[in-house]
Amino acid sequence: MKDRSWFFKVFVLGLVCYSVVMLFSVPSFAAGDTYPSKPVKFIIPWPPGGAVDIIGRLVAPHLSERLGKPVVVENRGGAGGTIGLEAAAMAEPDGYTLTIISDSYAYKPALGEKLPFHPVKAFTPIAHLAIGTNVLVIHPSVPAKNVKEFTALLKQKPGQLLCAASGNASVSHMTSELFKMKSGTDFKIVQFKGSGPALVDLLGGHSHFSFFSLLVAKPQSQAGKLLILGTSGSKRTALMPDLPTIAEAGVAGHDAPNWWGLVAPAGTPRPIVEKLSQAVKAALSTPQVEKQFLEAGADVEYKGPKEMGEVLEAEIAKWTQVVKTANIKIEE
């Protein structure tokens, strides 16, 4: 009798444990298995027409095709992207709200900007999408033909050359501060209200150099109005494969590409995250999408959820150091 009683207790205990395991594992399986069952909202936290909007709209239809449900783009700009990002961060973590972040997203915490959400913990990384190319350009009057000669010139004339930037804490400003830090040079940074006025000043020879997107700089270079010395990222771009990176041309550690990543609200179930990430990976691997990205000035570069999270943390750490070294302050 004791043996039968012991067997019965063990049987019941095993049944309970099995039930508990199934209770927690079935929803997880079902989440990825049945997702999506309705349209997915894709919040782009910037107005139409900018780089973030262009990249987001390139991804959306291909993601929709692979998910089998519409991916509906919604531009919600304002406050430097904060309004749209907050809406995405506060959404239900069910996979039906996505958003896109870019390189400038890492500037906010680096600058100590107060946000209504945690810059890392508020989102679950889905995938790294692509990198874009900023380039170091000089006016033809500057006596240098490559990065090595240009850095030598800066060291010969400390504080004398002028760099045109498109506004405080803009991409060109932050990139120029990183260049100053990594090259060990000194120069004056002149702030303008946007990349347009900065470009006009440089073309006029009033400033000596700047950092612009390759799509902006390339036509000016082809017309002989500017000279492109190198790309700001860690890799060469397919748009100009013979153009060296600034790092390989002599400024070690200089790495400041544009980048874009897809994220969802924190707490989004792992099966859904993986399904979305694999859908993105499949879309980015097609020649058609690679061509579309190149035409928009970006090189496809897929990375999974873990790697995307590492990119964001590394970018925040890098720009925090730049802000501290350059003593950059948020304009009131």
**Per-residue model confidence as pLDDT tens digits over 101-128:** 999 999 999 999 999 999 999 999 999 9
Structure tokens at 190: 């002149």
Q: Whole-prediction pTM value?
A: 0.85
pLDDT at 79: 87
Between CA 48 and CA 53, with CA 50 as vertex, the angle to 5 degrees is 60
Whether the predicted pLDDT of 290 surpasses 90:
yes
Q: Are 98 and 276 in contact (CB under 8 A)?
A: yes
pLDDT at residue 29, as a whole number: 43
Reported as a pLDDT band with limits 50, 70 and 90, residue 332 is: low
Q: Which two tokens stand for residue 128?
A: 């790294």
Strand locations in the chain (E)? 40-44, 71-75, 97-102, 123-132, 134-138, 162-165, 188-191, 209-213, 227-231, 258-265, 298-303
Residue-wise pLDDT for 51-69, tens only, equals 899 999 999 999 999 999 9
pLDDT confidence of residue 74? 97
Mean pLDDT for the chain overall: 90
Q: Does domain 134-231 have CATH number 3.30.540.10?
A: no
The pLDDT of residue 330: 79
Instruction: Pick the closest to residue 264 from 81, 130, 129, 127 (CA basis).
Output: 127
Architecture of domain 35-132+257-326 in this structure = 3-Layer(aba) Sandwich (3.40)
Q: What percent of the chain has pLDDT over 70?
A: 90
Strand pairing partners for 228? 137
- Report domain extents, the chain: 35-132+257-326, 134-231
- Do the domains 134-231 and 35-132+257-326 match in fold? yes
C-alpha distances (whole Å) from 44 to each of 78, 84, 130 are: 11, 7, 16
Q: Taking the CA atoms of the chain, what radius of gyration do you get in angstroms?
A: 24
Reported as a single tens digit per residue, the pLDDT across 167-190 is 899 999 999 999 999 999 999 999
| pLDDT at 4 exceeding the cut of 60 | no
The confidence band for 1, taking pLDDT boundaries of 50, 70 and 90, is very low
